[in-house]
Structure 1
């Protein structure tokens, strides 16, 4: 790899060159060199895996900085994501305490070495950053930095950000090998950061779609109920004097419609509650959701399930949404006295079960399409799983979802 500071010199890190050098070494030296390369590759692999495990863009930035600092054994590390106004949309640092940050002041603007790196989009390695003509100044509370290395994080020709480190703990400052290593790591970090941003955009679109769906449900269910309620109340008022018996019938209907509207509104409110999967995990989020339903509805609603292994975020969302839909169906249609939800890992599968003791239904009847079974099956298949619904008239319903764990 030929990079800044190594022009005209063949890198000693290429496989062919390494093979030539190893051929002239003693067996002990060859083994030692191989072990060193294996250690370096293992370090890079560990750093890349640490980054790619995260799907939040902010988390990815933090792990990139932390991993780079560990990889090159530096005292300070930072990563800046530029904005379009001459500043940084995000700036993450390691090695600087919260108290120091408070003393330093606002985020840096795109000036000095940071601006030069964004403009030139090329690696920089310096024995002392303060002696470079591109260096301008630091705030008075800024830690003193000497040896410096920085590389751009790029997606094709677009610079996503710059990552830089300062003050290598080992004597002698940063080496060409450090620069090659950081450049390699930055290339993988760019992929992880791009994926995280795409994932967050996808989540934003999902949230918008969910809000639109909820708005439609509010309009289709609650609004129509309230409209009917208003007309019935008007009819009852008009009949009070002329036909009290019919007026009482209309008032009974008002009470029934009000109860149905309240139930619809409760269902919508519950679905609008944030899942908080990232904070609590699937099992705890579902437990909280069931607890809310148990307080809102007269049915006895219970949950059983302990901590689970780490699951892909898409799988967690699938299981939660299917559980919510199944609970909504049971509360709305089953006329059950008890609903039980269980979540467990069975071998390599995660199993969700929602069981009620309600009326049951004919699973082959075309009228059950309104229960969202097709939507739940689509979710299950998209997650590589399966959905089974067992029900008989008068014998309750059991819905079982299985997805890879």
Structure 2
């Protein structure tokens, strides 16, 4: 239990200091300290109360509690006795060097008459107050060392005694239980906060769908920003063929500067996040999120917004310099939040499509009624009025009848125009995403299975009408080729907008094609891509299926050069 410590003449064990049983007053002080620690609920409050109670109990001028992070260094350092202004002058908090690091490597109590005489002493930064006497004790949660309690400068210029050491060890033991309870409480609070965030997004999306509003990714970014304690939250599209992503929504510091930007993220991290669905973190934003984040020196997190079958892009979070890193629990809950938000976006989109279909069906019914009922009645009324002319000899009466029939003819013409307009609106107002779904279903009607369809990015809002027609033609031709020639058991269709491009991928597990250049449908798709300054390629092997890739530029304003 005792750590060798240096003395004036060298190093001697801490038992060289006289031992004595703590008196009743100090035991009462220890009990009061334990009770005061147990009164706190949150981890931050418990840690601070531990340091304050230790300084008061052991008459130390300065105290600190260092939390050991996942990398073995100090991830959190709480001090007592140093004023905030002085702390700013001192600079960054310790990370675990010197005697502090010794306690991390060898978690047992250590008591020193003079810190500077110890071989592991690392020295102090400029502006640091002088510290000589030292007492340290590890804080354990069950069998795991959570951190260390550090005390320096016993008041009155005295040395820390063996009795002080015993009291510090006892307080550290009680602190371990309080910290464990506080961690459980904080973890429960964090889980509740993220689950509530996901629920609020779902409620917001469904309410917006009913009111025909579309907060979409902006709301997801804003909620993630507040819940995670970050300074910046970005929603980006899936990467294009060049590996770039486009920022679709932003919240936090300088958010306006980020919207619409193309970013080069770390490709290995993006692949890992998209394939596994597990968020990744980094101590510095630029290491994970690329050079564009060079101005952000704090921790960062990258997560997939969506699922394997419905990907809506990526969520990026960044904290300020010196902030605590994103914990493993935060990563876990961000993944849950992203899945919930993705589902909410899907449901809101499905609700919007359903509402539009109801509207279109109603318009179609009105058009049908106008055509089959109203127009026929007007036509019959016109014939009856016209037949009255045989019974009227007065020229003015005949003119009046002719005027009425002309008016009825004009009304019938206007009704026909209205019917045409209603039916045309149904086709033109339909969301592009639903038109893609309908196209795939129509072309694959003869199959015994339904192709898998994945839509990602702002397809409905960023793709202009002319380009949408080109896209639908490519989807139709690609799926039709697979249906007619592949003899496949599975067909996958993926359409994505973002990263400055509009892309289509149609893949199957069929027999493959021996000579891709010989098929006119593929040549047509290639011509469409080249006319739009895009790219087209086909990958196929006998018995191993076919993959068709089609991609064209799409600028941030949603305008593309369409011939």
TM-score (norm 2): 0.36
TM-score (norm 1): 0.49
